[in-house]
Amino acid sequence: MKIDAHLRGKWEDIPEQVRELEALGYDGLTTVEINHDPFLPLMIAAEHSERIGIATGIAVAFARNPMNLANLGHDLNAYSKGRLTIGLGSQIRAHITKRFNMPWGAPARQMRELVLAMRAIWASWYDGEPLRFEGEYYRHTLMTPGFVPENLEYGPPRISLAAVGPKMTEVAAEVADGLIIHPFSNEKYIREVTLPAVERGLARSGRKRTDLEISFSPFVVSGDGKTRAKMEANIRTRISFYGSTPAYKNVLGVHGWGDLQPELNRMSKAGKWDDMSKLVTDEMLHTFAVVAEPAEVVSGVKARYADLIDRTCADFDFVEPERRAGMIAELAR
């Protein structure tokens, strides 16, 4: 299993942070698109590292278009000498239309087309193919020599797609290099819903399971005293927040908790954020999170997910660096 870490903190701290992550033995680092751009920090990370993979985990796909994603992907992959993975997610309709002021289509169909359009652009750059992509959402039919990048040595980056529901999961398995399973998931949902969707998507593209890298980072509650209590409170809040999303109702539904989603949604619209987490029972917490003492976290993650996934984010920042390195090595074995 490959092990990633999240890149956090101030951008001026990235050089020291990424060197530490390499020394600890991480295979990759990821950035998220929340209150900062996810691509710019990766340029700094690439400059101050030698081997570690860099990835957006995730960038909001529909806030951009295939051409600027293709350009960003090429530039970062070339600069990092082939170490980039573009992790993309759809976000939900309200954010795309109201926060980014971008059009919203049928998400799975639009994502499939966006990835194919990016690959068509890269084919025109790296293989000299004519650019003739005409789809329902995207049209790219002009590429003159002056707009073709000159540093083509490392080729295109890998693409991973984030998914919750079966439709987007099928798209990821059909057209992407990797699948990022949303952290609001669990062993039962992955086995009963996600993996069958993966098989359907792979079948459509004639690929094998080994052609798709599956990443999942479960919630973890661990540490001692105040650290553990703070982590538990945070995870309960995240479960209630994600659980309020209509598109995620089926994740609760496989456990018979589907009726909780409309209630959480109503509370979110009323601004009752603190009260929402109180509806997350201990059973739900232990279903969505690995709740364990530090010495038992790795075995807990492996017991549930070792046969299902290829990589995971494991920050393990609830223990000191020396112990963290050992946990990373144990999880990777």
**Are residue 283 and residue 171 in the same domain, yes or no?**
no
| pLDDT confidence of residue 13 | 96
Q: Which of 276, 291, 306 is the last residue of a domain?
A: 291
**Residue 81: how many CB atoms within 10 A of its CB?**
12
- Residue with structure tokens 């652009």? 121
**Are residue 190 and residue 241 in the same domain, yes or no?**
no
**Distance from the Cα of residue 177 to its chain's centroid:** 13
Task: Report helix angle 321-332 to 294-305, nearest 10.
Answer: 20
> What does the DSSP assignment read for 232-258?
HHHHHHHHHHHHT-GGGHHHHHTTT-T
**Are residue 108 and residue 256 in the same domain, yes or no?**
no
**What is the amino acid identity at position 248?**
Y
**Are residue 280 and residue 131 in the same domain, yes or no?**
no
Q: Are 221 and 291 in contact (CB under 8 A)?
A: yes
| pLDDT confidence of residue 257 | 97
| pLDDT confidence of residue 201 | 98
For the chain, how many structural domains are there in total? 2
**Are residue 33 and residue 155 in the same domain, yes or no?**
yes
| pLDDT confidence of residue 174 | 98
Cα four-point dihedral sign 299, 300, 305, 310: negative
| pLDDT confidence of residue 33 | 96
**Are residue 162 and residue 274 in the same domain, yes or no?**
no
* Confidence (pTM): 0.95
- Alpha helices of the chain — where are they, by DSSP H? 14-24, 40-47, 66-79, 93-94, 107-126, 166-175, 187-189, 195-205, 225-243, 249-253, 260-269, 273-276, 282-288, 294-305, 321-332
**Are residue 163 and residue 271 in the same domain, yes or no?**
no
- Residue 311 sits in a domain whose CATH number is 3.20.20.30
**Are residue 36 and residue 168 in the same domain, yes or no?**
yes
**Distance from the Cα of residue 226 to its chain's centroid:** 29
| pLDDT confidence of residue 283 | 98
Helices (H) and strands (E) in the chain, counts: 15, 13
| pLDDT confidence of residue 149 | 97
Q: In 3D, which of 329, 232, 240 has the Cα closest to residue 277? A: 240
**Residue 41: how many CB atoms within 10 A of its CB?**
21
Measured CA to CA, the distance from residue 300 to residue 292 in angstroms comes to 7
| pLDDT confidence of residue 214 | 98
**What is the amino acid identity at position 295?**
A
Q: In 3D, which of 102, 17, 108, 4 has the Cα closest to residue 56? A: 4
**Are residue 76 and residue 33 in the same domain, yes or no?**
yes
The domain in which residue 284 lies consists of 223-291
**Are residue 37 and residue 71 in the same domain, yes or no?**
yes
**Tens digit of each residue's pLDDT, the chain (333 residues):** 999 999 988 999 999 999 999 999 999 999 999 999 999 999 999 999 999 999 999 999 999 999 999 999 999 999 999 999 999 999 989 899 999 999 999 999 999 999 999 999 999 999 999 999 999 999 999 999 999 999 999 999 999 999 999 999 999 999 999 999 999 999 999 999 999 999 999 999 999 999 999 999 999 999 988 999 999 999 999 999 999 999 899 999 999 999 999 999 999 999 999 999 999 999 999 999 999 999 999 999 999 999 999 999 999 999 998 899 999 999 998
| pLDDT confidence of residue 225 | 87
**Are residue 178 and residue 236 in the same domain, yes or no?**
no
| pLDDT confidence of residue 9 | 87
**Which residues are CB-neighbours of 92 under 8 A, at least 6 positions away?**
245, 247
**CA dihedral angle for residue 41, residue 43, residue 48, residue 50, rounded to 10 degrees:** 120
**Are residue 18 and residue 155 in the same domain, yes or no?**
yes
